[in-house]
Amino acid sequence: MDFTEPVVLVLTSLADGPKHGYALAKDIEWFAGTKLGPGTLYGALSRLEGRGWIEALPAEDRRRPYRITAAGAEALARHLQAAQRVAATGLARLELRPTS
């Protein structure tokens, strides 16, 4: 599955425990400064659920929480490690860049 930004944000948000739609939107806004709309958020949730990287839990007051699965956690870790390498390389190269 393609690691789009909403997919990464949702997996990252679920990494510290299950959340329902609104809690996810608030958490993502808090840690990433990104406001995910309902269509984008549930688009990511449906793709992740279809892939088996998250799973739905029983609804609480009609709001259904989702939790990350072991496969989802592993995929997120792999993606973030690769992103970290790219970020570290980019930052190091920017520091080496001669200033004009």
Partner 1 sequence: MNDVPAGPATEPSPWPSRLLAVYPPAWRARYGEEVDLLVKDLSEHGHAAIPMAIDLLCGAAAAWLFDRRIDMSERSREALIRVLWSWVAFATVATWFGHDLGIYPTAPAAHELASAHPVVPDAYHVLLAAGVFGVAATAVAALVYALDAGRNAARAGRWRTFALMAVPVLIGAAWIAGTRLLHGNGPETSGKLTFAVAWLLLGIAGIAISTQAVVTVIRSSEFSESTWRIGGAAAAAVTAAMAVATLATLTWGIAVRTSLTHPGDATGWLVVSAIMAVTTGRAVLAMVGTHRHAPETPAVA
8 Å CB contact between 21 and 10: no
CB of 92 to partner 1, least distance (A): 24
58 binds partner 1 (CB under 8 A): yes
Q: How far apart are CA 23 and CA 48, in angstroms?
A: 17
68 binds partner 1 (CB under 8 A): no
20 binds partner 1 (CB under 8 A): yes
8 Å CB contact between 75 and 53: yes
Q: Which amino acid is at 13?
A: S
Per CB under 8 A, the segment of 7-15, 35-43, 68-76, 90-98 that binds partner 1 is 35-43
